[in-house]
Amino acid sequence: MSNEESDRLADLEIRLMHQEDTIDALTESLVRQQRIMDQLHEHIEQLRRRLQGLEEPNTEGDGGESTDPPPPHY
């Protein structure tokens, strides 16, 4: 193998090593982002359930109206 071929091979090996490092870093970043997205999704679902519970009409009384007496100013 000539010196030029040896240099080219060494250059390719160095490039491959840097690419592997970059791929590993990107993979770690992607995994972290996916964890964050999963947590945010769960948080959104919890908020949705809480909001849905607040919006559910009161089944007591007629038409979902409150059974409490009206305030004194009525």
Is residue 13 domain-resident? Answer: yes
Length of the chain: 74
Is residue 2 a part of any domain in this protein? Answer: yes
Count the neighbouring beta carbons within 10 Å of the beta carbon of residue 32.
10
pTM (two decimals): 0.59
On whether residue 32 sits in a domain, the answer given is yes
Contacts of 58 by beta carbon, 8 Å cutoff, 6+ apart? 64, 65, 66, 67
Give the torsion through C-alpha atoms of 27, 33, 36, 42, to 10 deg: -90
Q: Is residue 37 part of a domain?
A: yes
Give the structural domain span for 39.
Answer: 1-51
Structural domain includes residue 58: no
Q: At 36, list the tokens.
A: 């964050």
Q: What is the pLDDT along the chain (74 residues), one digit of tens a residue?
A: 899 999 999 999 999 999 999 999 999 999 999 999 999 999 999 999 999 999 887 655 555 566 788 888 86
**Number of domains composing the chain:** 1
Q: Answer yes or no: is 17 within a domain.
A: yes
- Please give the angle made by the CA atoms of 9, 12 and 18, to the nearest 5 degrees: 145
